[in-house]
Structure 1
């Protein structure tokens, strides 16, 4: 097959749709490092990141082959979104949550007060943390996403805004409402917390 010259993503995609496999190889080669990094920053494991990278491109091939891709000129952001969603889905399934540090430097989990660290209290702490993870999962998707990107991936609000396609103010607002909602969920579920830590 004739080698494809360096062309823009849209041209390469059209060539691939018309049966030119080399065009897709060039797309993968061009973008795989950026996509891999996006995944790795979330899962923190190179083997898992490599697996999810492959799954991302399998998904891309499926969508393109079924003529369901319609975001001309936005190939990389589209693929990054697929990769991001796969990594977040893996992260949710694994039930691994970040140490959520609030703006005053306090840790979300540290707001649970116990007098002693007896075996019973340690058990209660563990159960409460598990319950808090469930509460985080109840957050609206946009709020949960910002929370995860900020506190687990360690992205700045500028990076979060670029990753999710919103303004910095919107990203900041989603984080604020995520913390307000967490506090509300905790109140509803009678989980003890420090009013100063969880103030909106």
Structure 2
């Protein structure tokens, strides 16, 4: 049976009715977005894979127990589960997400900088390092929205659903995050000029 032409809700219903392949199609369809949103928060491939698997174990258990009632909102619901598992992990570890320039995917690496001199490259890399350090200084709600929006490429609607707030709150947190980054950058430039 072909599932590609079915919407998420139809696939959920087919899976609940016993068609295991419907879940495979849902995972195939949304894997990248779900995994990326987890990875951008934990910054560790293996941990992201573990949380991704835990997310789908929870999804399967909820679907099989008949407790799923997010009609038409499968992806935001799964992202919310993943997000909560990430928060649980950090609570257990007593630490906050860190944006590092490790071996993993880094949005700054794919922005495309061409024909730049060595000096430009050094300045750019230092700027990205500074920006990532400044992002870590943001309050956790602002940092979370910024990471999901720019690194996870999630819409504000998806962010609102995942973080369990209104779209206006998500937009507000993003606005505050950008304003705070701007102020921190200005303060940093000012202190560099004074030294």
> Normalised by the shorter chain, which TM-score bucket?
0.5 to 0.7
Superposed CA deviations along residues 90-124 of structure 1, whole A, max 9, x for unmatched, are 1222222368x9xxx79859xxxxxxxxxxxxxxx
SS at match of 2:28: helix
Partner in structure 2 of residue 97 of structure 1: 96
CA distance in structure 1 between the aligned counterparts of 2:85 and 2:70, rounded to whole angstroms: 19
Specify the alignment match of 1:14 in structure 2.
Answer: 13
1:164 to 160, 164, 172: 160
Q: What CA distance in whole angstroms lies between the structure 1 residues aligned with 2:54 and 2:135?
A: 37
1:75 to partner: Cα distance: 0.4
Which structure 1 residue ranges, 5 or more long, are not aligned?
110-135, 137-143, 177-200
User: What is the DSSP-based 3-state SS (H/G/I as helix, E as strand, rest coil) of the residue aligned with 1:96?
Assistant: coil
Gapped regions of structure 2 (runs ≥ 5): 99-129, 177-195
C-alpha distance in 1, partners of 2:175/2:94? 20
TM-score (normalised: structure 1) = 0.56
TM-score for both structures, normalised by structure 2: 0.58
Higher relative contact order (CA 8 A, sep 6+): 2
Secondary structure of the residue aligned to 1:24 is: helix
Greater helix fraction, Structure 1 or Structure 2: 2
1:123-177 deviations in Å (ceiling 9; x for gaps): xxxxxxxxxxxxx8xxxxxxx5x144057x3746x9684302423456536997x
Tell me, yes or no, if the aligned pair for 1:42 and 1:88 is still in contact at 8 Å. no
Paired residues in the alignment total 138
Rounded to whole Å, the distance in 2 between the matches of 1:71 and 1:170 is 21
